[in-house]
């Protein structure tokens, strides 16, 4: 089977299985099994696959036919131009989350050596990216579950970040001193019971503990605001990723707790990030 034939048959099988981005994925899979760049695939399209490559292709297509996530099959995924290890037990970094990184970087750009805390860190994609993009920052990641924490630590090493990953539960009393952070960023679990029904089949392979939240998806925001406001410095800010239709609700929670609030939209024009800055009486 040539590369060209393999690409076409993969595309067809993925489409038949209901994989949404079957064209993109077929190309990614061929690149993965051959180790070729997009240009090499175009120039060497007539080259036959080795037996090992063909067997690998069959195995990958079978996994995608049952909607096992491509990112878990590859074992890594790109976020903000860097590579992050992923696998069972950790949430796959989403492109939407880059909106939160942009907003967080904007928030700390004029602060000298900002102290940043990433709550519910998962793979560490947010905190590690902030550490590397704002190199004078001091970033701490907090994650409750061991499997996810292991990935955060591996990704710190992989990306040569100086961020520190700690185990902790946001529902418990914080392990940090009062007024010690300039920015607390978080992409917590926020999918409500109602929204579960609309999740893609791939999401069912990701840890429920990374996805779902009680109280109409708001329980983590409420707990973080309650437990972590005192940990923010005088002019410190929260920077939250929020789910579809949650921006106003989270903005209202922050306003009710005395924060000045801004909502940032993602590339689809959906409110994706809510920033709340401590209101210190206009000083
Ligand atoms: C939506 S994922 C976000 C992961 C990562 N920050 C990202 O943007 O890809 C939420 C993360 O919160 C973690 N988590 C769930 N409950 C937690 C808790 N009570 N305290 C701390 N982390 C928690 C999950 O394990 C998961 O890694």
CA 112 to centroid of ligand 1, rounded, Å: 28
Q: Is the pLDDT of residue 263 over 90?
A: yes
Q: How is residue 216 written in tokens?
A: 């109409």
CATH 3.30.230.10 fits 87-278, yes or no: no
Give 279's pLDDT tier (boundaries 50, 70, 90): confident
- Residues 168-218 have pLDDT tens digits of 999 999 999 999 999 999 999 999 988 888 899 999 999 999 999 999 999
pLDDT at 282: 46
Express as a percent the part of the chain with pLDDT over 70: 99
Mean pLDDT of the chain: 96
Give 281's pLDDT tier (boundaries 50, 70, 90): low
Rounded Cα distance between 270 and 263, Å, is: 10
Given ligand 1 and candidates 128, 144, 246, which is best to mutate, with the most ligand atoms within 8 Å of its CB? 144
CA 150 to centroid of ligand 1, rounded, Å: 13
Instruction: Sheet containing 259-265: give its strands across.
Output: 164-167, 138-143, 115-119, 181-186, 232-241, 271-278, 259-265
Q: Is the pLDDT of residue 105 over 90?
A: yes
Express as a percent the part of the chain with pLDDT over 90: 93
The pTM for the full model equals 0.95
Ligand 1 contacts CB of residue 128 (under 6 A):
no
Q: What is the mean pLDDT of residues 147-161?
A: 98
């Amino acid at each position: 089977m040539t590369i060209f034939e393999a690409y076409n048959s993969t595309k067809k099988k993925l489409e038949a299985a209901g994989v949404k981005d079957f064209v993109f994925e077929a190309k990614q899979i061929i690149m993965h099994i051959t180790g070729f760049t997009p240009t090499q695939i175009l120039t060497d399209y007539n080259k036959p696959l080795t037996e090992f490559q063909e067997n690998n292709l069959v195995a990958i297509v079978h996994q995608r036919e049952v909607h096992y996530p491509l990112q878990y099959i590859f074992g890594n995924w790109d976020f903000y131009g860097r590579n992050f290890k992923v696998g069972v037990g950790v949430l796959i970094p989403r492109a939407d989350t880059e909106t939160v990184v942009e907003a967080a970087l904007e928030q700390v750009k004029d602060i000298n050596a900002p102290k940043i805390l990433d709550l519910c860190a998962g793979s560490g994609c947010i905190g590690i990216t902030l550490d590397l993009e704002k190199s004078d920052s001091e970033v701490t990641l907090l994650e409750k579950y061991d499997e996810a924490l292991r990935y955060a630590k591996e990704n710190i090493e992989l990306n040569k970040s100086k961020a520190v990953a700690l185990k902790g539960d946001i529902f418990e009393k914080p392990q940090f001193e009062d007024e010690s952070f300039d920015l607390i960023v978080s992409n917590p679990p926020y999918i409500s019971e109602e929204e579960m029904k609309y999740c893609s089949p791939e999401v069912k392979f990701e840890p429920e503990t990374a996805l779902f939240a009680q109280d109409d998806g708001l329980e983590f925001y409420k707990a973080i605001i309650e437990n972590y406001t005192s940990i923010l410095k005088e002019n410190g800010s929260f920077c939250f990723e929020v789910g579809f239709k949650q921006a106003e609700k989270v903005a209202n929670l922050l306003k009710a707790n005395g924060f000045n609030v801004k909502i940032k939209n993602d590339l689809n024009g959906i409110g994706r990030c809510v920033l709340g800055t401590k209101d210190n009486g206009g000083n």
